Amino acid sequence: MIKTEGLCKWYRGHSSHKVSAVQDVTLSIVKNSFVVFKGPSGSGKTTLLNIIGTLDRPSAGEVFINGNNVTRFSDIALSGLRREKIGFIFQDFYLIPNLSSWENVSYPLVPLGISARNRYETAKTLLEKMGLGDRLAHTPEELSGGQQQRVAIARALVNRPGIIIADEPTSNVDEETGEHIRSLLKELKDNGATILVATHDASFEKPADVVFKMKNGMIG
């Protein structure tokens, strides 16, 4: 389902010194697998997932999703791909402060022309599954960190994506919420999704089909 060939990403540091975040990463990920990327901070996990998820472009190399070379896609085509095929769970949630829980969850449906009522019903169903049925009208500042993360996960699932990319999804939540998140991602995998997780959390190794260890931008 996902393949990378010779992926590299570098940035210009001080005095035009080139800093490599990802170095020559070639890998294949089969459909309906649970894949974990482990490594210390600065090892390149997040950068690699951002490139695979088309949030960032590589400095060199190629990414293929369902056989399509997405590194050649225009920005408009990439936006459509992300909207239709990929769900993102970010470490820092990135909820819109002035929107309620259900509005945050349903926001990706707005460009699709879905009515407000149907957006509400879809968001309500997902939030109830997350145990947040009584928090539909709450804004992010009225929620705990764990509740905010569950809203962010519901938002990632609202388009029923085939690929779910999660960057440190349990780093800002308590252990009980972390276990709930791990179980939910495993359930999504069992229902046909392909899961990619960047994490320090060793508990993710249990549900994983594949664990890639990263160091200095390379797969070890």
Mind listing the domains of the chain with CATH numbers? 31-43+74-212 (3.40.50.300)
pTM, entire model: 0.91
CA distance linking residue 199 with residue 156, whole number of Å: 18
Two tokens, residue 103: 């509005």
pLDDT tens digits, 144-202 = 988 998 999 999 999 999 999 999 998 878 888 888 889 989 999 999 999 999 998 89
Q: What CA–CA distance (Å, rounded) separates 220 from 37?
A: 10
Residue 27's DSSP bridge partners are: 4
DSSP 8-class letter at 82? H
Integer Cα distance of 111 and 68 in angstroms: 24
Instruction: Tell me what the pLDDT averaged over the chain comes to.
Output: 93
- CA distances (Å), 101 to each of 68, 116, 203, in order? 35, 14, 28
Place of tokens 């509740």: 147
Q: What is the pLDDT of residue 15?
A: 65
Q: Are strands 68-69 and 60-65 parallel, antiparallel or unpaired?
A: antiparallel
Where do the DSSP E strands lie in the chain? 2-12, 18-29, 34-38, 60-65, 68-69, 86-89, 163-167, 194-199, 210-215, 218-219
